[in-house]
Structure 1
Amino acid sequence: MTIDAKSASAQTLEICNTAPVIPVLLVESADTAAALGQALVAGGLPVLEVTLRTKAALDVIAAMAEVEGGIVGAGTLLTAQDVKNAKAAGAKFGVSPGATDALIDACEVEGLPLLAGAATATEAMRLLERGYTTQKFFPAEAAGGAKALGSLASPLPQITFCPTGGVSPDNAASYLKLPNVVCVGGSWVAPKDAVAAGDWGRITDLARTACKSLGGAV
């Protein structure tokens, strides 16, 4: 089932509105996927971005797609084949560091809502020209941080952003207070050592803390 840009942006915005933080997950083994997803959902963060940067990523997406209450997406989409693989694995949305016409076309053909990345006003305008009003600001800190992103709000009020890349508990609130930010993406809620140790309680606590401390900043 195909999707157009307007519907894609609306669906992506609805997903981004679910919680103040989207966990950005780099998972090495599908064996931990379900437990990790359950821990994050239990902490109030149901939107799960699994980056396609490990050999297990597609299996992880498939496992997390079965987690009750979870909304799993595929990050680091780069090619049309990535899109097809992610959709087949059960991804409900896609995320990319940037955007090309080929990638956007593939997502629309596959019916996969895309949170496409932009780092400059020109890139944001190109996505807007294609009809994408919900975008990812990446790499957020390296591209100028909250100050840079906030400066886009006045000339480009049509665009809502999810900043990722260097976002942490220390600066997340500064992004979420901006009028053009709906949520942030970050990896701090699922630290590698906690995942490796199977410390799901710690991850749930981190997710719960993020919801509690940042929910009011949205």
Structure 2
Amino acid sequence: EQAASPGRGRLGLILGSAVGDLAALAAQDDVDVVVRVRHGDGVPAHLVDHAANCAALVDAGCDRVLALHSVGSLRADWPVGTVAAPDDFFAPWATPTTFDDVRGHRIPGVDATWHDAVVAAWQASTDHPIVTGGVYAQTTGPRFETRAEIRFLATVADVVGMTLASECTIAGELGLAYASISVVDNLANGIAATPLTMDEYAAGVAANRTLLADALPRLVTALT
């Protein structure tokens, strides 16, 4: 069971820490958007309070959320700079819930109607191509993955990160339609010919900032 597809509510936008300072670009005076920076003040990915973030959006009148993610690619043909809109996730070890009763017994997932609207808005906002599907694998963090772990994850997923599955699950429980735009900042450990370094990861994040800073205002406008 997915959250109800969006109707007349406000748009919620969740930004990762790498692009959190782009919030001002998204929150323009002429658009109705509620912006949350996922990690707050330096909170690592494995300690993000997804329930608090999603509840704040619900309290602000949102019925849908677009989440931006920084991801590692599990595919050599999805290089740094690839933009994808995942439509599924793999995270059997990530089972957060806001409920301790039967309400938590549900089928989570990206909202298909909202996902398609986000993809169409991205395509109308920028010439940068977007992959219109894919599977996001969520690991527990805070460390990055070993090469052996990446080989395993690459059999079931296309990108890897630490937040989407938990965030999507909680959003759905609270009635928020959920979709993601995930930007590849690095090739996951072992995908490239040489091992991933933290310097390479930081360089990928920086390279994608210009793309997001350019596309985000138009994207938000198209979705409100």
TM-score, length basis structure 2: 0.30
TM-score, length basis structure 1: 0.30
Higher strand share: 2
Higher helix share: 1
